[in-house]
Structure 1
Amino acid sequence: MSVITKEQVARKPFMDKKNYPYGFARSGDFSINESKLLQQHGSLFAALVDGKLAPETDEEQMYLESALGHREPSTPQEKAWLKYQARINRPKTASIYGSKKAAVEDVDDDDELSDNSDLDISLEDD
C-alpha cells in the first residue's frame, strides 16, 4: 500500500465529476474565485477530511477543524469548501410529478352518477 504525500495531493486539481461533471466554474453555484480555490485546495481538504492525510501544520489543522464544523471558516478556501459541502449535501428536490403512483381511492360506482334521471338533455330541435 502506497502512502499518500501532501505534495501528491496538492498537485492534483480537485474535480467532482459526479456532482459537477462540467466543472465548478460552469455550474453556476460558485464564483470564479471560489471555483479556482476549490480546484487548488479541494484535494487537500478532501484528503484531510477523509483521513487519508494527517494535518502537519497549524494551517492544515485549522482547515480540518473548519471542514468538520468545529469552528467558523476564516479563509476564502475554507468558505469555498463549506459552500461546496453545503451544495452537494443539500436535500434533493422532488419532481413536480412525484415519484410514487397516485393512490387510487376506493370509489363505489353505484353511488355516484348511477341515477341520471336528474339530467334533462334534449338533442332534438324544438
Structure 2
Amino acid sequence: MNLRKKLRDHAEVHTGALNDILFILLLFFLIVSTLANPNVIKVSAPKGKSDTKAKQTVVISIDKNNQAYIGQKKISLDDLEKELKVVLARETDKPSVVVNADTAGHWGDVYKVLQTAKKLGASAVASVSAN
C-alpha cells in the first residue's frame, strides 16, 4: 500500500497584477473618451430652451472672426458651395449639415451656409447649446 501522496506541480499563471492594470487602463480610456469633443473649432454657441440632436454628417463651424471651416479644413465663404458639393457627394444617405456658429459672428454668413446646404439637397441645422 502506497501511503504517499503523489505530488504534481501545476503550472499556474498569476494574473492578479494584470487584472489591476487592465482595470486601470479601462477606466482611463472610458474617462478620456467622454472628454473627447468632435467639434474642434471653439465657438460660443447661443443658448436654446430645448436640446435637439441631429445626425451630424457635415459640421461647418464659423468662428467669431467669420472664418468658416468644414470639419477642420478652413474654407472661404465664396468657395462654400464648391467645397460643400464635394463633401456631400461622398455621402450615401440624405446628408445633413450642422452649422456651429459663434454668437459674436455674423449671422448672415450662417444664413448663407444654411441656404447653400438646402440648395445642394441636404438638411441644414444651426446648432445651439441647451441651458
TM-score (norm 1): 0.19
Higher Rg of the two aligned structures: 1
The structure richer in helix per residue is 1
The structure richer in strand per residue is 2
Which of structures 1 and 2 has the larger relative contact order (alpha carbons within 8 angstroms, sep 6+)? 2
